[in-house]
């Protein structure tokens, strides 16, 4: 997992590259570097650790020039070190890379046998040598990159510079994201051309963006971007305007992106719902879901595929799909689905859920399902990412850029997409009554305000609670039914950002083992909304209390039984029982955030984690 950036323009390249890398730091942050074509040779500056170390190195050794490439790394081959940091250089060639070259072992052996000296442990350096060899054989940069690509198996987004062609960058993509940006048109070409792993890196500079597809490459120059397939066929693609404002990618006054994104959820929810609910008719607007016009009567089963937080959203999706459509629905961890010989095919609707749309396991699982004849609907946040591109239908969540590694607003907007899908499908199949659909549509429309109320109403209470529990070593989250995936999500959030051991359990499973964990030092957060599971969940809360756990209930306003039974009561407004997850997850996100903040962890970039997992 890494972030790459490239620039050709008329401004000094290094500050533009650094700025882009800063916006990509969520993709990896164990080392970083930049390269520019200097007067005599390619010049590089690299540094281990966070980007500020690269800034310091550049201050000590400034790079001049108006063309360059940069990289922020999350190690896959070779430990974090300066020699393993990108860019990697071979003669006049410099390369930055995101992805994994699977045949690196064979290539390394082959290059060594040809007498090439390899300095790093990375797969990327091998690419630099392959391009350099092709240049030495008389090819120009574009042809040399094309020749090298023919030798690579695996995932890559590459940007390649040559000292011999100093106003060109050649980029290529396969299974790793890459976006191109075009500056203002000056008649004879744009005033600048950019490339990056993700949209936010380019937002301050341009809104005109082009998305490369797998198996494509492009030559960036002062004339613009010329796209071809790796085989050399020309590709014509118009730029898309991306309306995300740069400010949407900033912290907007919050201490961390995670907190900002938690508080953005009411707005994100509004965006997700906008134009998709017809409140007059009490319907979900089918044209927005991506399935309208398709023969949904052929759908015999829904298979949800996802990883991490998106997997928790998918579990909630399964409840909704079964309840509201009457269809059988199963949820699969994408990483596990891939490892089997899944029985799937025509008649199955695969719903692949992914914030980034680039999670490799989800992408590969969805491709496998498609190859076996299933129809794939993706629920994704990042426009133009790989998963939507390979899908038969797409439903974008519109959460906006999510920078914090811990997913928050992406989760609640995924929930919204899934429940809208279930409502629409339920009506199409005649399983859901008009009146019930209309009630759910009304309930959804009210959520943004209710989410706002919960966030502002519980923030201080939860911050105080987190301060008291900052030393807790184990925390349990319990829930039944739709609250079960919320318990899983609460535990994942806490683990990720605070490094506290946490478990999410189906409350009914407690007595089958986990109850042994409970002692007076263990906080137990019980999800207790007023739904059909309420009484049984209350009993589970009592069981925890009887074992002297520190019990925190997340319950419906005015629930006196929950108040009496818990040490701390966190209240959320009463909503339709199908919609409780949208509100009950918010206190758990805040809890994870504040425990982490009081502990002083790196909330937005927790250790060992990367935002998008594009490796296996
Ligand atoms: O981009 P995706 O939704 O496919 O990502 C899936 C997981 O990697 C992601 O949800 C991860 O678990 C987050 N760090 C959770 O906060």
Residue 173 shares a structural domain with residue 108: yes
Question: Alpha-carbon distance 35 to 13, whole Å?
Answer: 9
Residue 238 shares a structural domain with residue 350: no
Confirm or reject: Cβ of 385 under 6 Å from ligand 1. Answer: no
Q: 48-62, 207-221, 251-265, 403-417: which range is least confident on average?
A: 251-265
pLDDT of residue 614: 79
Structure tokens at 200: 């936010």
Residue 150 shares a structural domain with residue 267: no
Q: Which residue has the higher pLDDT, 375 or 243?
A: 375
Confirm or reject: Cβ of 354 under 6 Å from ligand 1. Answer: yes
Nearest-Å Rg of the Cα atoms of the chain is 25
Confirm or reject: Cβ of 491 under 6 Å from ligand 1. Answer: no
Question: Alpha-carbon distance 572 to 587, whole Å?
Answer: 9
Q: pLDDT over 90 for what percent of the chain?
A: 79
Residue 392 shares a structural domain with residue 443: yes
- What's the CA-to-centroid distance between 113 and ligand 1, angstroms? 41
Residue 124, domain member (yes or no): yes
Residue 616, domain member (yes or no): no
- From the list 451, 453, 449, 427, the residue with the least C-alpha distance to 278 is 427
Question: Alpha-carbon distance 325 to 341, whole Å?
Answer: 27
Question: Alpha-carbon distance 187 to 105, whole Å?
Answer: 47
pLDDT tens per residue, range 156-207: 999 999 999 999 999 999 978 899 999 998 888 899 999 999 888 999 999 9
pLDDT average, residue stretch 100-124: 93
Residue 187, domain member (yes or no): yes
Is residue 252 over pLDDT 60? Answer: no
If pLDDT is split at 50, 70 and 90, which confidence band does 109 have? very high
Residue 612, domain member (yes or no): no
pLDDT tens per residue, range 546-602: 888 999 999 999 999 999 999 999 999 999 999 999 999 999 999 999 999 999 999
Confirm or reject: Cβ of 179 under 6 Å from ligand 1. Answer: no
Exposed / middle / buried, residue 544 (Cβ in 10 Å: 0-12, 13-18, 19+): buried
Residue 329 shares a structural domain with residue 351: yes
pLDDT average, residue stretch 122-143: 97
Residue from 355, 589, 611 to probe ligand 1 pocket by mutation (most atoms less than 8 Å from CB): 355
Phi, then psi, of 175 in degrees rounded to 5: 65, 10
Confirm or reject: Cβ of 355 under 6 Å from ligand 1. Answer: yes
Is residue 375 over pLDDT 70? Answer: yes
Residue 240, domain member (yes or no): yes
- What's the CA-to-centroid distance between 303 and ligand 1, angstroms? 18
* Cα–Cα–Cα angle for 265, 206, 96, rounded to 5 degrees: 95
- From the list 122, 175, 173, the residue with the least C-alpha distance to 359 is 175
Work out how many domains the chain is built from and give that number: 2
Confirm or reject: Cβ of 169 under 6 Å from ligand 1. Answer: no
Last residue of a domain, one of 250, 269, 295: 250
Q: 250-254, 366-370, 497-501, 594-598: which range is least confident on average?
A: 250-254
Q: Give the position, in ligand 1's atom list, of the atom nearest the Cα of 405.
A: 14
Residue from 309, 363, 490 to probe ligand 1 pocket by mutation (most atoms less than 8 Å from CB): 309
Residue 156 shares a structural domain with residue 290: no
- The whole-model pTM stands at 0.73
Structure tokens at 176: 């790793």
Ramachandran bin of 104, using left for φ above 0, alpha for ψ from -120 to 50, beta for the remaining angles: alpha
- Preceding omega of 87 cis (within 30 degrees of 0): yes
Question: Alpha-carbon distance 183 to 239, whole Å?
Answer: 11
If pLDDT is split at 50, 70 and 90, which confidence band does 28 have? low
Is residue 246 over pLDDT 80? Answer: no
pLDDT average, residue stretch 261-284: 92
Ramachandran bin of 308, using left for φ above 0, alpha for ψ from -120 to 50, beta for the remaining angles: left
Helix (H) or strand (E) segment spanning residue 365: helix 360-371
pLDDT of residue 175: 79
Residue 37, domain member (yes or no): yes
- What's the CA-to-centroid distance between 342 and ligand 1, angstroms? 23
Q: What is the mean pLDDT of the chain?
A: 93
Confirm or reject: Cβ of 613 under 6 Å from ligand 1. Answer: yes
pLDDT tens per residue, range 296-322: 889 999 999 999 999 999 999 999 999
Residue 614, domain member (yes or no): no
Helix axes 434-468, 580-599, angle to 10 degrees: 20
Last residue of a domain, one of 227, 250, 273: 250
Helix (H) or strand (E) segment spanning residue 490: helix 483-498
pLDDT of residue 374: 96
Residue 198 shares a structural domain with residue 221: yes
- What's the CA-to-centroid distance between 521 and ligand 1, angstroms? 30
Structure tokens at 390: 């390979």
Active-site residue list: 2, 611
Quick check: helix, strand or coil at residue 590?
A: helix
Residue 214 shares a structural domain with residue 268: no
Instruction: For residue 213, give the CATH number of its domain.
Output: 3.60.20.10
Residue 397 shares a structural domain with residue 464: yes
pLDDT of residue 288: 81
- From the list 361, 445, 400, the residue with the least C-alpha distance to 248 is 400
Residue 307 shares a structural domain with residue 441: yes
If pLDDT is split at 50, 70 and 90, which confidence band does 253 have? low
What residue numbers bound the domain in which 240 lies?
Answer: 3-250
Q: Give the position, in ligand 1's atom list, of the atom nearest the Cα of 613.
A: 8
- What's the CA-to-centroid distance between 197 and ligand 1, angstroms? 17
Question: Alpha-carbon distance 88 to 111, whole Å?
Answer: 15
Confirm or reject: Cβ of 406 under 6 Å from ligand 1. Answer: yes
Residue 382 shares a structural domain with residue 479: yes
- What's the CA-to-centroid distance between 109 and ligand 1, angstroms? 36
Residue 244 shares a structural domain with residue 266: no
Instruction: For residue 266, give the CATH number of its domain.
Output: 3.40.50.10490
pLDDT tens per residue, range 330-339: 999 999 998 7
- What's the CA-to-centroid distance between 407 and ligand 1, angstroms? 6
Residue from 1, 304, 311, 359 to probe ligand 1 pocket by mutation (most atoms less than 8 Å from CB): 359
Confirm or reject: Cβ of 307 under 6 Å from ligand 1. Answer: yes
Confirm or reject: Cβ of 309 under 6 Å from ligand 1. Answer: yes
Structure tokens at 549: 């756990």
Residue identified by tokens 């597809």 is: 213
Is residue 32 over pLDDT 80? Answer: yes
Last residue of a domain, one of 250, 280, 306: 250
pLDDT of residue 250: 65
pLDDT of residue 143: 98
Is residue 433 over pLDDT 80? Answer: yes
pLDDT of residue 73: 87
pLDDT of residue 277: 93
In 485-566, the DSSP E strands lie at 501-506, 523-528, 550-556
- From the list 354, 344, 493, 332, the residue with the least C-alpha distance to 417 is 354
Question: Alpha-carbon distance 466 to 464, whole Å?
Answer: 5
Residue 138, domain member (yes or no): yes
- From the list 36, 25, 118, 115, the residue with the least C-alpha distance to 73 is 25
Is residue 76 over pLDDT 70? Answer: no
């Amino acid at each position: 997992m890494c972030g790459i950036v490239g620039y050709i323009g008329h401004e000094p390249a290094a500050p533009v590259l650094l700025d882009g890398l800063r916006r990509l730091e969520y993709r990896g942050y164990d080392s970083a570097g930049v390269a520019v074509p200097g007067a005599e040779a390619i010049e590089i500056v690299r540094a281990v650790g966070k980007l500020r170390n690269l800034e310091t190195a550049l201050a000590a050794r400034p790079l001049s020039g108006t063309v360059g490439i940069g990289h922020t790394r999350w190690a896959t081959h070779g430990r974090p070190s300066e020699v393993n940091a990108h860019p990697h250089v071979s003669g006049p060639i410099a390369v930055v890379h995101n992805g994994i070259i699977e045949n690196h072992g064979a290539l390394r052996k082959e290059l060594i046998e040809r007498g090439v000296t390899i300095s790093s442990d990375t797969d990327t350096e091998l690419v630099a040598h392959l391009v350099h060899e092709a240049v030495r054989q008389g090819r120009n940069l574009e042809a040399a990159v094309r020749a090298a690509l023919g030798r690579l198996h695996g995932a890559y987004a590459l940007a390649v510079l040559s000292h011999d062609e100093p106003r060109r960058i050649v980029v290529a993509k396969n299974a790793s994201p890459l976006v191109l940006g075009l500056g203002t048109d000056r008649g004879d070409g744009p005033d600048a051309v950019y490339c990056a792993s993700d949209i936010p890196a380019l937002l301050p500079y341009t809104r005109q963006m082009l998305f490369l597809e797998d198996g494509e490459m492009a030559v960036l120059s002062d004339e613009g971007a010329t796209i071809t397939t790796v085989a050399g066929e020309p590709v014509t693609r118009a730029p898309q305007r991306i309306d995300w404002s740069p400010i949407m990618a900033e912290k907007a006054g919050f201490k961390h992106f995670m907190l900002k994104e938690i508080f953005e959820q009411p707005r994100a929810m509004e965006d997700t719902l906008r134009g998709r609910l017809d409140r007059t008719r009490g319907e979900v607007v089918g044209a927005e879901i991506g399935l309208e016009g398709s023969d949904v009567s052929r759908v015999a089963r829904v298979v949800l595929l996802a990883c991490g937080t998106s997997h928790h959203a998918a579990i909630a999706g399964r409840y909704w799909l079964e309840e509201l459509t009457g269809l059988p629905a199963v949820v699969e961890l994408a990483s596990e689905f891939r490892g089997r010989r899944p029985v799937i095919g025509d008649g199955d609707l695969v719903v692949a859920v992914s914030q980034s749309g680039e999670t490799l396991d989800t992408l590969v699982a969805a491709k496998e399902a498609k190859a076996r004849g299933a129809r794939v609907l993706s629920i994704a946040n990042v426009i133009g990412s790989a998963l939507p591109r390979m899908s038969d239908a797409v439903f974008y969540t519109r959460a906006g850029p999510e920078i914090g590694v811990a997913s928050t607003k992406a989760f609640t907007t995924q929930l919204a997409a899934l429940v809208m899908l279930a409502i629409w499908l339920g009506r199409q199949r005649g399983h859901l009554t008009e009146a019930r659909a209309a009630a759910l549509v009304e309930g959804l429309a009210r959520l943004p305000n209710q989410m706002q109320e919960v966030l502002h109403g519980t923030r201080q209470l939860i911050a105080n609670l987190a301060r008291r529990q900052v030393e807790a070593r184990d925390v349990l989250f319990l829930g039944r039914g739709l609250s079960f995936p919320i318990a899983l999500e609460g535990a994942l959030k806490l683990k990720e950002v605070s490094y506290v051991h946490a478990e999410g359990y189906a409350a009914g499973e407690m007595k089958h083992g986990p109850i042994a964990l409970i002692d007076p030092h263990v906080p137990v957060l019980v999800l207790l909304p007023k739904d059909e599971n309420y009484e049984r969940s209350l009993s589970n809360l009592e069981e925890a209390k009887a074992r002297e756990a520190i019990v925190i209930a997340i319950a419906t306003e005015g629930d006196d039984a929950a108040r009496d039974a818990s040490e701390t009561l966190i209240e959320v407004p009463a909503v339709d029982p199908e919609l409780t997850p949208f509100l009950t997850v918010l206190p758990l996100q805040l809890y994870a955030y504040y425990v982490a903040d009081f502990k002083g962890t790196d909330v937005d970039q927790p250790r060992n984690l990367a935002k998008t997992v594009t490796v296996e």
